[in-house]
Structure 1
């Protein structure tokens, strides 16, 4: 029994350990995945950067991991320690729902890692285990669909090391939710086929239960958009397989066609089982998704605030992004802070761009690197093409019967081929996206590029089938007697076949790329005007490089790596034509796995932070000052042009300080409207209530109504009648708001104003003296409203969920 399971256990171990290639320093070592160094780009941290030895942050694009997820996890742990249910977060957005929002993944089973380990280490361990799980579930799906073990292993590696998964590590809830899609699809396939569970008897219930648990876990990860994609793909796959299985069953064992009608009850039974599986999953996830739906329904993304189809398509990949499927760093990388200058023959740090402006990295993509992370490797793309070609060639043997053609069209490979094409159409914002936009609840999603997720799984599965197609074609090789020397040279002395043709194209294409690069350097003087013209004409390139020579040096490296990997891909495919074995296993399969790991690991290496965790212990002096005031108050930040992002986003949550700003994918639409009355909220597309930057905002009485007692800024506020300087250091100044209203106060009913236009009333009536009510509110006293003086009320108790 153990001997029979040994190959499966070996694959599981490989897929579990492979993520350590990238994450060992943060999972097992003394570094943390949290980008704590990025905090030191802004005050009040920046002033201490030199003292603490903090230089250029490793990857400032990944600050969401610390500004959002770390803040949430820290808050969650504090609530657990205080034995409170964290229903409400009082620290950002002047208070808003916490547990209902879901993206903290508090209820997700693997989040137990965060409850057991120190936070600085937990992120590395969680990522390691989650990527291992993602790879294993993809392997399971491939095996369930009939792929041999080597191909299934390739499927698992592609999925767990894909660009989508690796760049999404900044969002733990996304990699957690995405990991479960292959598992759910595997359970769907097993239900449709009634795969035996323990014995030889056909079974459905075990797979229904496991699939329901998988869907429940996926939902508990807390990313609604991710769950929407999972449900869409699962529904499409289930429908496809039910129809396809009915077509398969329509042919008898003797080869005669069966009428489809008697098989319909069997398909309805399978459909009922699948419906039960989804119902079970939804029931398990309802504890998170029912309150999440309520929050989303009133969020700033809902209703009239939802983006139009034209806007959403505008956020898709630009056509030029297609090149990153072959050269992922063509448009730079936020973790690349230097380049090797081929003309000065030394490494040159990124300091200024062609306009003389300061830069930290060479990154010139129209889409940011996380949103644009779609790299799948070169070998997987060619294997997917081979899988499709192998599927297409099957028509020749099925032209005799219309039902045979139908069964072939409804195969698994055809589904993932169509899904990959549809996903590409959505990613690049083609009119196909209108089909998605028309679906209910999806208009709050501003992310057509998220279709990289189903594309990734589709290519991974097709690549697994491609591995099988390569093996099968090797068994069918027929040596050709006479071949011309030219064809021998072009096909690398391999018999003509789709595999040998692709091998030759990859090998000679990669070799031509490398030779072209070498020649371009030798004859650079002749082509330099062309390079310079290209540099200045490419959008955003001058913003990321100081000159065209640095640009050329940077691109030389990554195009050269593309050439090497493409040549290696050609070699692997060519070796697949040779009867060479390593311990009874075709050596090309070992080479394919090795090349795949090298390719995808080279993409991910250096992208993720590996930072000294002691930086998380640093507390700015201004925080120590603010903590001395133990009364109830909030702070706001003022960041006019020329200053940094002072107390950026959710930083106050690190120290239990309450603020009016915040950073989260879901927060109240009405709160966003209220803050818009103080100052235009131009960072809503980035899920933020921003810091104030207009001087007039500081004079708004609506700021007083929010109990903003302190303004933290890097500049002087020359308004002594309203603001008094109470703290100053080399980083920031703190001003006390002298007209702040208390957290709780009352006004008499005679000061109440009922208005159909609350926004206009708030601008007209001073909230220090009037209560503004919406039209329809009942007043115990009618008559002329008169201004009054507020009476402060004593707050006797204040906890997370009760005041």
Structure 2
């Protein structure tokens, strides 16, 4: 990986931060990967926040730094209990960033190895399969994203299902592998995994169908129970999110059937429409989400077993997964308007089933390799013909576009490599099996070289000291009260999570709908998924949210007339918004900050926790300008009992009636659904442990 060439390097596309203040002089933006923006602005801040909170002895329930406060534990992607993420709590930071993608790669590869062996492949065929899958397009493209945790566990889930079907295992193994996947940070992939594993068992069959399906269903039920400590709060957050409640397309692009139909050509030309890591991307959609290349020899080897797949229902089931995934990725989008009306199913992005295309191709390639080395596999000529046909279609349809963009040379290189490899390998059919056994080690080597050439630069490296460095502008803001916001992409969210600042903007996939409605009144428009910059700086709501500081690019004019510039540096300019209200204040009384704060004192403020002293001769409403959520609880004074839910003030903030008199207000956040989730998870764990002990005892009695 590129990170290994840098002394303090980590795999990170975050050099693209240099496009925005206050980081413009920190790195070379061209050395990043703009299509991996989620890693830069979401994933890495989440991991750093998890590390900070757990090292402080706190469970990371609430993120106070973005969206004027938002759920962290239950945002669906932070994966706070996934074992690989917990490495950030115990390991040095650089080692954590380096180990995380490598462990995902190894876990995914080992899963394919064990699955292939369970399906009857020998060690050489299993080696082929376990190298192809983790190096294929989608797993590499998403290697730095929590989705990759789930990708790495897909083969383990299928391995568990196969062991249920063949009678070697039971529901316990599936509950563990699927339970881990449910904690991995990408629920959508878990649903897709459940879909393809159901299809697998349906096509594969079993000698004892009732036992197999019962074990399959019960395994998934226990998996859901084991993970409920995270997934149950997530469901409550999801059902209140703009992504779930919004009826539109989620901010995505219009469906273009021509663009979709040409996507399969990238199976043979990985850079058919450029590569963002090289600054040459010009294609539709997103490179990261649409890459599917799994290697030239993979297609040929997979086709080498075509004549024998039908003899074994296990391999028919793998072929069924390939066909189903291909249809879901390339055909179903053409019926998008119909699909989005289907409950739950219509909310999923089925183009991500490309991971199943890569996995099934890897397994089928391992199967075909076995046939080839045994002296058969003549159907690989079908694969050669398919490769030649796809290349011909690509050149016929794209030659003019390539000429316009100066990429003919790149496409010619890949065409010569892909077609040349296919033709040369086809001639291996003339070799006797004894000779094939001598040359077979070259095949995994060629596959690895091919896939590294295609995908090796997707995830660039970056010096750790350049990942969210503390610039002079950040130092200026660190001890300032009030919230902050940036103009355009300046101080791009979720940077505040790293610096401990408090931003009213945020960049999460799961956003609370009630907050997005408010935010959209002063942003460019309502968007249920993506971050949009602030457009109307005169909005009264910005003041009510407590914004006191506005960061702009250096030398940039004030976004609102009359603002005083208090910081003017080479990295940024910072203006003070004098009429921004205090974060803790009385509702609707007084004209100055002093009037709004008379009798109020913040004694303690932590993520998900406030302790506020108050004193008022009359009953008033105390407003805390942090986003209201069902998980917030309040009580007046210490002692047992007395917890209640704060009211909603100013559409989205917390309001608590106090007075007359004096006392302390305590606010504490516990994700809604966490307590029942803990109980369900403990019940699932108890069931798993008790069942394992009973099974162990029965085995010992049987062996005697």
CA contact (8 A) 2:329 2:354 kept: yes
- Aligned residue number for residue 237 of structure 1: 200
Pairs within 5 Å for 1:698-713 = 698-713=537-552
Structure 2 match to 1:443: 346
Q: Does 1:133 align with 2:107?
A: yes
| 1:691 maps to 2:533 | yes
Residue 416 of structure 1, CA deviation: 2.4
Which of 428, 436, 439 aligns to 1:575? It is 428
- Structure 2 partner of 1:717: 558
Decide whether the 8 Å contact of 1:422 with 1:432 is kept in 2: no
Q: 1:142 aligns with which of 116, 120, 131?
A: 116
Map of 2:158 onto structure 1: 185
DSSP-derived class of the 1:100 partner: coil
Q: 1:609 aligns with which of 452, 460, 479?
A: 460
Paired residues of 1:509 and 1:563 also in contact (CA < 8 A): no
Aligned-partner Cα distance in 1 for 2:101–2:29? 26
Give a deviation string over 1:68-115, Cα, whole Å, max 9, x none: 111111111111122112111000011011011241222112223222
Kindly indicate whether the alpha-carbon contact (under 8 Å) linking 1:309 and 1:434 is maintained by their aligned counterparts in 2.
no
1:364 is matched with 282
CA distance in 2, matches of 1:534, 1:467: 34
Cα separation, 1, equivalents of 2:94 and 2:443? 35
Alignment of 1:184-583 (within 5 A): 184-195=157-168, 204-205=169-170, 208-241=171-204, 244-246=205-207, 266-307=208-249, 318-336=260-278, 361-391=279-309, 411-430=313-332, 437=340, 440-445=343-348, 447-474=349-376, 497-499=378-380, 501-502=381-382, 505=385, 535=400, 538=401, 548=403, 551-552=405-406, 554-579=407-432, 581=434
CA spacing shift, 1:463–1:34, aligned 2, 3 Å: same
Decide whether aligned partners of structure 1 residues 685 and 649 sit closer, same or farther in structure 2, where only a CA change above 3 A counts: same
SS at match of 2:85: helix
TM-score (norm 1): 0.69
Q: Where does residue 63 of structure 1 map in the other structure?
A: 37
How far 1:116 moved relative to its partner? Answer: 2.6
Aligned partners of 2:158, 2:544: CA distance in 1, in Å?
A: 52
- List runs of 5+ in structure 1 lacking aligned partners: 1-21, 196-203, 247-265, 337-360, 395-407, 476-496, 518-529, 542-547, 640-644, 753-769, 781-790
Aligned match of 1:39 in 12, 17, 40?
17
Aligned twin of 1:761: none
The structural deviation recorded for 1:600 is 0.8
Distance 1:309 1:731 in 2: 32
Distance 1:795 1:332 in 2: 60
The structure showing larger relative contact order (alpha-carbon pairs under 8 Å, at least 6 residues apart) is 2
Report the equivalent of 1:638: 487
Question: What residue number does 2:586 align with?
Answer: 746
Asked if the contact 2:47/2:85 (under 8 Å) is kept, the reply is no
Map of 1:90 onto structure 2: 64
Aligned counterpart, 1:596: 447
Q: What TM-score comes out, normalization by structure 2 length?
A: 0.78
SS at match of 1:80: helix
The alpha carbon displacement at 1:143 in A equals 1.4
Kindly indicate whether residue 473 of structure 2 is the aligned counterpart of residue 622 of structure 1.
yes
Distance 1:625 1:613 in 2: 22
What displacement does 1:289 show? Answer: 0.8
Deviations 1:708-739 (A, max 9, x none): 11111232227555x32222223322221121
Give the drift of 1:163.
0.4
What is the alpha-carbon distance in structure 2 between the residues aligned to residue 671 and residue 571 of structure 1? 59
Matches of 1:698 and 1:270 in 2, distance apart? 60
Give me the whole-angstrom Cα distance separating, in 1, the residues matched to 2:59 and 2:319: 46
